[in-house]
Amino acid sequence: MQNKASLIMGVVLGLLAIVLVHFYIQGVTRPIFKGKEMVSVLVAAKNIKAREKISKGMIKVSQVPRKFKDPNALTPDDIEIIQGQKTLFLLKKGQQLTWLCLGMEKMEGLSPIIRQKERAVTISVDEVTGVGGHIQPNDHVDIAANFTVEGERAGITTLTLLQNVTVLAVGLEVGRKRVDIEETHSTSAMLRRGYNTVTLSLTPPEAEMIIFAQARGKMTLVLRNPEDLEVIPDMPKITMSSILQLEQVKKLTIQRQDRIKVEVIKGGKKTIEQFK
């Protein structure tokens, strides 16, 4: 009888601990997102293997700040649509689900993973403009371009055309195993990596701009951290005169110094730590 009472007491205390931990976590995380606009997205409820069929038990709805929402993220409205579809690669627990994570049953090629109302546009890259061959499908990039300006303000101008653009494919790789390319001693580094083109997911107006820019200038892809989805408004264009302005150089130096200051929350208290 005494053992039974001890067992019941242990279960009760265990449940109480779970409840207290839940409320503690809520109390710590709530201030972080206080005042931020939250949106609902679908995330992996557990680690999901590549080529595994999606079922309801594998996904859940999560609230994230709008600025951290992947542009291609799936929403609760998409739950029924994605049932039974296979993943293209490993999804880690808590990772946002996107259309690019999933493959269409009995459909091959690029078109099934193009998001609705967007288009696939391919641009040429080399070892420099393609980030040394390190870009992979599903990465996010910014697109910068150099243009030669004529007239009174003749010279080269560099500006960022688009930010946070999703990569659909690199060369022949579309989120799947890359097509083998026979290597020879004369094969360039980019060909050994399997691509000298990158295919991007763009809206029709963005596609027109990139096609024009590719014809009139030289574009460079800038690779982003997968968790960095923030878009910087009013990016300045760069010319020789702006580089030679010492105030502009000082401003950029200060901004770089500020970026290594990180907000750290310990025990519900917020501190600013600087990493060198």
As a whole number, mean pLDDT of residues 32-47 equals 80
Per-residue pLDDT tens digits for 80-137: 878 888 888 888 999 998 877 876 444 467 887 888 889 999 999 999 999 998 999 8
Would the pLDDT of 72 be above 60? Answer: yes
The share of the chain scoring above pLDDT 70, in percent, equals: 67
**Ranges 30-34, 115-119, 211-215, 253-257, most confident:** 211-215
For residue range 170-209, list pLDDT tens digits in order.
987 775 433 443 433 333 344 435 578 999 999 999 999 9
Write down the pLDDT at residue 166. Answer: 92
The highest-confidence range among 25-34, 60-69, 95-104, by mean pLDDT, is: 60-69
Task: From 91, 44, 67, 64, select the one nearest 228 (Cα to Cα).
Answer: 67
- Measured distance CA(14)–CA(124) in Å, rounded: 59
| Environment class of 194 (CB within 10 Å of its CB; exposed 0-12, middle 13-18, buried 19+) | middle
Q: 3-state DSSP call for residue 91?
A: strand
Average pLDDT score, the chain: 77
Q: Which residues of 84-120 are buried (b: 16+ CB within 10 A; e: fewer)?
A: ebbbbbebeeeebbbbbbbbeeeeeeeeebbbeebeb
Nearest to 203 by CA among 165, 159, 231, 230: 165
Catalogue all structural domains in the chain, each as residue range(s) with its CATH number: 34-107 (3.90.1210.10), 116-234 (no CATH)
Q: What is the pTM of this model?
A: 0.53
Residue with the two structure tokens 């022949």: 172
Pick from 49, 77, 48: nearest CA to 61? 77
pLDDT at residue 121 in the model: 95
pLDDT of residue 259: 61
